[in-house]
Amino acid sequence: MPTIAVVDYDMGNLHSACKGLENAGATPKITDSPTELDLADAIVLPGVGSFDPAVQHLRSRHLEAPIKRAIASGKPFLGICLGLQILFESSEEGKEPGLGIIAGTVKRFHHEPGITIPHMGWNQLELTQPNSPLWQQLPADPWLYFVHSYYVDPSDPAVRAATITHGSQTVTAAIEQDNLMAVQFHPEKSSTSGLQILANFVRSAVSGQRSAVSLKN
């Protein structure tokens, strides 16, 4: 079974993600050790909370460099919720620079009649990269569980792997670029479809390294 490092930076319920990975056949290991990130077969970066504390905690634990090193190596990498947002350059939620691995910003939903912020509950994905390894064996337009007030807006639309519509706003729900995958929803809370997505990620860890994202720094 592949060993998947689940990054511990005090920003989320790591045990729910671990349970989902275990159900998918992986051996998850919660860690904030750069060495263990280097040794793992794949990495999951979960996250719940606010943008600025998240990147501050990552940097205080000296985890930014090993995360970038793992992505640049071609190792399968999955960001979840806040773990998607901090991959970007900046956020309207805070002032700290993000990791800058994906070009673009994190924006807040704008208020309009009939929608709630945060966007909370089940929503239906529109798959914009239908051949992504993450979406294998899923039903068409699957339903996943979301809790968020902010969404990512990548500079390059080609990295979008799925979108959702909330009110009149259609926004990015997942990205994929080479070995880097990240989702705004919570797969560990998304019943059968969510567990299938985690199983698909575990399968990518078993199959080994993929073409690596080219990092700017």
The DSSP 8-state label assigned to residue 158 in this structure reads: G
Q: What angle (nearest 5°) sits at the alpha carbon of residue 43, between those of residues 38 and 44?
A: 150
Residue type, 203: R
Radius of gyration of the chain (CA): 16
CB atoms within 10 A of CB 141: 10
How many helices, marked H, and strands, marked E, lie in the chain? 6, 13
- Cα separation, 174 vs 101, in Å, equals 15
Query: Annotated active-site positions, please?
Result: 81, 186, 188
Per DSSP (E only), the strands in the chain are 3-7, 27-31, 42-45, 77-80, 88-91, 102-108, 119-124, 126-127, 143-148, 150-154, 160-166, 169-177, 180-183
Estimate the crossing angle of helix 51-60 against helix 64-73, to 10 degrees.
90
What would the two tokens of residue 40 be? 């793992």
